Amino acid sequence: MKKLLALVLALVMVLAATSAFADGLLKIGYVQVGHESDWRMANTQNYYDVFTKEAGFELELIDCDNDHALQLAKVREFVQKDFDYIVIDPIQTAGWDDVLKEVQDAGIPCIIADRSVDASADLYTTAVGTDMTAEGETAGKWLAEYLNGKEAKILVIEGSTGSSAAIGRAEGFNKIAAEHPEWKIIDSQDGDFTQAGGQQVMESFIKTYGADGFDVVVCHNDNEAYGAMDAMDAAEIKYGVDGKIIISFDATKEGLTRTLNGQILCNVECNPIQAVIVMNVIKALQNNETVEKFTLVPDEGFCAPGITSEIVTTMTDEVLAGRKY
């Protein structure tokens, strides 16, 4: 009898040690990239909206401010605190092997969300995100359709160097560009996914190439596109259907507003609403169900009114009205 009591007591203590038992909430640690863009803010808000106490979660979301070393340190902190799940949105693809191994050794399920890592998939539980290379290809295919054989000099304002978002979009776009000898990518610089970065890069492009030196500006996200517009406004360079062609990525509410009003001609969506998918993956893991190694977040592309396209959807007021972020 004493033995049985001791066994029950030990069991209760083990269960109590796990946070799921202590307060009924699952402890989720999310190392967020930072706060560089509207997309990022929407993604963060979406996590707060979904991972609520009412839904059974206690979310600790860390803004890593684009600092890879800080992101690694915070993951290690989550391990030490024995969180139930660790969600990583990797600032850069490289440098994850050791820390992922540590999370795995601690027995904590790890989800890679939004961006990807170049570590072996054996080192994490599952991944959720968009297909950034496909996004780049969509932008390229739309441009090919729109230019219809015309020559074009192209400038690129890249996303943060080393991030899968920038790598994928460049790879996808370059693949299509390689099929078009009439296109010339004349320069490509890092705008760090920020409006200020986009403006700075565009200002230096204008200085170097002049208003007549380019036809197309490909911006790896909406905020960079806003910055590029600021620089072009200051230099009195026209953009839109009868000016320079601006292509953007993200399709945030503001980005789509500027697509609807014809400033951005093509905006390839990258859906920031990913928290529900991550939550469903966690619920499945809780139920010991097997989950896919990768869950794709679907997204589409949009172009300005007056442009017909087989590649992307022409923007309307209704599309914009349906957007929360």
Query: What does the binding site for ligand GYE look like in residue numbers (CB under 6 A)?
Result: 36-37, 39-40, 114-115, 165, 193, 221, 249-250, 270
Q: Which is nearer to ligand GYE, 119 or 237 (CB)?
A: 119
d(CA 134, CA 173): 9
Q: Which residue has the tokens 């977040």?
A: 297
Min dist CB 98 to ligand GYE, Å, is 23
Structural contact between residues 130 and 299, judged by C-beta atoms closer than 8 angstroms: yes
Min dist CB 141 to ligand GYE, Å, is 19
Q: Which is nearer to ligand GYE, 191 or 262 (CB)?
A: 191
Pairing of strands 266-269, 301-303: antiparallel
d(CA 35, CA 223): 12
d(CA 160, CA 168): 12
Structure tokens at 138: 């969509």
Q: Which is nearer to ligand GYE, 39 or 142 (CB)?
A: 39
Q: Which is nearer to ligand GYE, 28 or 132 (CB)?
A: 132
Q: Which is nearer to ligand GYE, 112 or 206 (CB)?
A: 112
Min dist CB 46 to ligand GYE, Å, is 13
Min dist CB 163 to ligand GYE, Å, is 6
Query: What's the Cα-to-Cα distance from 88 to each of 111, 223, 274, rounded to whole Å?
Result: 6, 23, 13
Min dist CB 62 to ligand GYE, Å, is 16
Q: Which is nearer to ligand GYE, 42 or 206 (CB)?
A: 42
Q: Which is nearer to ligand GYE, 108 or 247 (CB)?
A: 247
Structure tokens at 148: 């219809």
Min dist CB 83 to ligand GYE, Å, is 22
Min dist CB 133 to ligand GYE, Å, is 12
Q: What is the 3-state secondary structure of 80-143?
A: HCCCCEEEECCCCCCCCHHHHHHHHHCCCCEEEECCCCCCCHHHCCEEEECCHHHHHHHHHHHH
Comparing CA positions, the residue from 130, 177, 133, 147 lying closest to residue 309 is 147
**Alpha-helical regions (H) of 148-274:** 164-177, 195-209, 222-234, 253-260
